[in-house]
Amino acid sequence: MRWLRLINWKRKPMPEFAQDNLTPRLMPDAQYYSEAPGRVNLLGEHVDYNGGAVLPMAINRLVRIEAKLQQEGTFHIEAIDLGKSVDFSLNSVESKKDVNGKQLPGWALYPAGVAWVLKNEGYPVKGIHAAFSSSVPVGAGLSSSAAVEVAFAALWQVVGDWIADPLKLAILCQRAENQYVGVNCGLMDQFASACGVEGSAVWFDTRSHESRAVKLPENTVVVVADTGIRRGLVSSAYNERRASCEEALRHFQRAIPGIKTLREVSIHDFNRFSAGLDEIPLKRSRYIVHECARMDHALDVLSLNDATAFGRLMNETHAGLRDDYEVSCAELDAMAEIAWKLPGCYGSRLTGAGFGGCTVSLVERVGIDGFVAGLKAGYLGRIGRNAEVYICEAVSGAKAEKFPGCGS
């Protein structure tokens, strides 16, 4: 049985709210608050909806909500960063409309979707006046939407005084995004935001829901670099990628009876049975099959503390996402290629759904300042844009609490 360097799964409190990145107090008379982190995925991209295992890390970029109770079944939500607000109710949420009968704006679908799924699952959804802000860059592939969903789910849990474990919260939030927002995402993003572990990445089997905290190689740092290019998931080709994978799965099921996901197709079986697939599902499934194999290999190299081998897997993932899954872009390719050539870089790849957003790099801790400076300068020189670069720390998952002495 494969050996992993595991740490105690006991969840630790999330670090103090990052006041530098967000509004110091969102609502002075708030009774409750919640916060949920964004995530970066180190390996296992786009395999969560194909039954594969993934390796995300909850990061120290957070969504923060402060709230107070208001009339039962009504919600006033303020998006501080956007300078916008919306009012909806449990009665209007089904039609995705506000209390005046207007369609909910896109940003409001995430809290509204959580309210909708909680209502349908029979959980109490108390009326709240809430304000939220975020230090997770929107549209950057760091799961800002999942962080909003999980933060609201955690908030309604503490406000309503009901209990659901973090994995259950993640599943509920995924359902909100799939069935309400309309993005056919897998479970990884919500899982990472709800179930992150301080100081570690988390290996998560999306088929069995088994999870383990896994230490990254010693003396390494995770660096996220934002290209500044944005793509909207709903309007992008994300759902088309999923449909192509489902088409490929049906093809392989005819040759390999009993399989339920592309994860169950080995590289040997892919090479043996892929003849007859159209070009697009062929390319998409080839990436998925090889990425699942890379995830299996990743556990071995991480158990050996092998940063070089793990970085090589990251580079291979980027090539597959670029050539077979076709979710990269010129800016993401440039950012990864610049990182590959810098001293101390073990590996670099796009992270998230793609079509824009961020890269993630595993970098030697010694000389990290030089790496960051070189990456920024290289990207500016090649693309002509300034890049935001974050040195990321692994944090624990979402939490929600009542402010001391706030009353009932």
Q: Is residue 17 part of a domain?
A: no
What does the buried/exposed string (b/e) look like for 19-48 if buried means 16 or more CB atoms within 10 Å of the residue's CB? eeebeeebbeebbbbbbbbbbbbbbbbbbb
Q: Is residue 9 part of a domain?
A: no
Return d(Cα 306, Cα 220) in angstroms, integer: 11
Q: Is residue 407 part of a domain?
A: no
Structure-token pair, residue 46: 């786009």
pLDDT, tens digit, 9 for 90 and up, residues 90-110: 999 999 999 999 999 999 999
Return d(Cα 95, Cα 180) in angstroms, integer: 10
CATH assignment at residue 151: 3.30.230.10
Annotated catalytic residue, options 48, 98, 189, 324 = 189
Q: Is residue 72 part of a domain?
A: yes
Does residue 192 share a domain with residue 63? yes
* 98 φ/ψ sector (left φ>0, alpha ψ -120 to 50, else beta): beta
Return the sign of the alpha-carbon dihedral for residues 388, 393, 394, 400: negative
Q: Is residue 2 part of a domain?
A: no
Q: Is residue 325 part of a domain?
A: yes
Three-state SS at 368: helix
Predicted TM-score (pTM) of this structure: 0.87
Q: Is the pLDDT of residue 141 over 80?
A: no
pLDDT, tens digit, 9 for 90 and up, residues 358-407: 999 999 999 999 999 999 999 999 999 999 999 999 999 999 999 886 65
> How confident is the model at residue 230, as a pLDDT?
80
Residue with tokens 């005046």: 100
189 flagged as catalytic: yes
Q: What is the mean pLDDT of the chain?
A: 90
> How confident is the model at residue 186, as a pLDDT?
80
Return d(Cα 341, Cα 254) in angstroms, integer: 44
Q: Is residue 287 part of a domain?
A: yes
Q: Which domain holds residue 308?
A: 220-392
Residue 167: Cβ-neighbour burial (10 angstroms; 0-12, 13-18, 19+): middle
**Cβ(68)–Cβ(46) below 8 Å:** no
Provide the domain count of the chain.
2
pLDDT, tens digit, 9 for 90 and up, residues 217-257: 999 999 999 999 886 554 457 789 999 999 999 999 999 99
CATH assignment at residue 283: 3.30.70.890
For 278, phi then psi, to 5°, come to: -65, 160
